[in-house]
Amino acid sequence: MNPSWPSINLRVNGEHHSLNLPPMKRLLDVLREDLHLTGTKEGCGEGECGSCSVRMDGELVNSCMVPVLQAQDACVETVEGLACDAELHPLQKAFLEFGGAQCGICTPGMLMAASHLLAHNPTPNIAEIRDGLAGNLCRCTGFIRIFDSVIATIASNAKSQQERNAR
């Protein structure tokens, strides 16, 4: 407990945390070091690669660029929160089937960017998908199978929507 540090309250993947932290500590490091959520990765530390992408109060942010003070009272979603119990998120299923992940280091950020995109626009076209993922670099896949995975997710979401409607 360092009295000169503020107490930071934040909710991560639905779980509440109250932490005594240096205010300028990067959200990325708080997630990885203090909360042991190492799914979020650091690729550049300067807001260029997107491998540290998380959602914060519904916005997609590079957690390497966010001092934790800015996350006071925020709701943060990371890759660890995507799957529901053991059931993979539809995006995760599609990435697995269509080869959207190779080395996997960009994958957590890419999944967060893709889920953010679909939350705002459930049926993006290819140009919108490219635009939505433009802040996330992948050096392995050439992006093609990541696009395929997102497109497949849109189709499977539409199908489950139809099934729900039919019921």
Partner 1 sequence: MSTSAKTRIVGSSVPRKEGVDKLMGRARYVDDIERDGMWHGATVRSSIPRGIIRSIEFDPRIDWGEFAVVTAADVPGENHIQLIFADQPCLADGQVNHCEEAIALLAHPNKQKLREAVAAVRIDYEPLPAVFTIEESERQDVIVWGEDNIFKSFLLEKGNVDQAWTGAAHVIEGEYRTGAQEHLYIENNGMIAEYNSAHGVTVWGSLQCPYYVHKSLMAVFGLPEEKVRVIQTETGGAFGGKEDFPSVLGSHAALLAMKAGRPVKMIYDRMEDLAATPKRHPSRIRHRTAVDANGMLLAMDIEVATDGGAYSTLSSTVLSRATLHSPGPYVCPNVRVRSRAWATNTVPYGAFRGFGAPQAIFAIERHMDEIAAGIGMDPIELRRRNFLQDGTTTATEQVMREHVIMDKLLDRALTESNYYARKTQFAQENPASAIKRGIGIAAFFHGSGFTGSGERNLNSLAGVDVTSEGKVRVLVSSTEFGQGTNTILTQIASEAIGLDIGDVVMALPDTGIVPNSGPTVASRTSMVVGKLIQRAGTQLVSMLHDKAGLEESFTRAEFFAACERYRAKLGDVVSLCRYEPPPNIFWDDQKYRGEAYPAYAWSIHVAQVAVDTITYSTEVEDFWAVQEVGRVLNPVLAGGQIEGGVAQGIGYALYEKVVWQNGRMANNQMTNYIMPTAEDVPPIHVLFEEIPFMHGGFGAKGIGELPHDGPAPAILNAIKDATGVSFCSIPLMPEDILAKLVVASSIEVAATV
Q: Are 163 and 112 in contact (CB under 8 A)?
A: no
Helices (H), the chain: 27-29, 90-98, 107-120, 126-132, 144-166
SS3 (DSSP) at 140: coil
Segment near ligand FES (CB under 6 A); pick from 16-24, 70-78, 89-97, 137-145: 137-145
State the burial class of residue 39 (Cβ atoms within 10 Å of its Cβ: 0-12, 13-18, 19+).
middle
According to the binding rule CB under 6 A, does residue 47 interact with ligand FES?
Answer: yes
According to the binding rule CB under 8 A, does residue 115 interact with partner 1?
Answer: no
- Which of ligand FES, partner 1, none has residue 40 at its interface (CB below 5 to 8 Å by kind)? partner 1
CA distance 26 to 45: 10
How far is the CA of 159 from the CAs of 81, 93, 128, in angstroms? Answer: 23, 15, 21
According to the binding rule CB under 6 A, does residue 78 interact with ligand FES?
Answer: no
- Which of ligand FES, partner 1, none has residue 114 at its interface (CB below 5 to 8 Å by kind)? none
Residue 71 or residue 138: which is nearer to partner 1 going by CB?
138
CA distance 49 to 55: 15
- Which of ligand FES, partner 1, none has residue 71 at its interface (CB below 5 to 8 Å by kind)? none
User: Which parts of this chain interact with partner 1 (CB under 8 A)?
Assistant: 32, 37-46, 48-49, 51, 78-80, 82-83, 88, 92, 95-99, 101-108, 111, 129-131, 133-134, 136-147
Residues that bind ligand FES (CB under 6 A): 42-45, 47-52, 62, 64, 101-107, 138-141
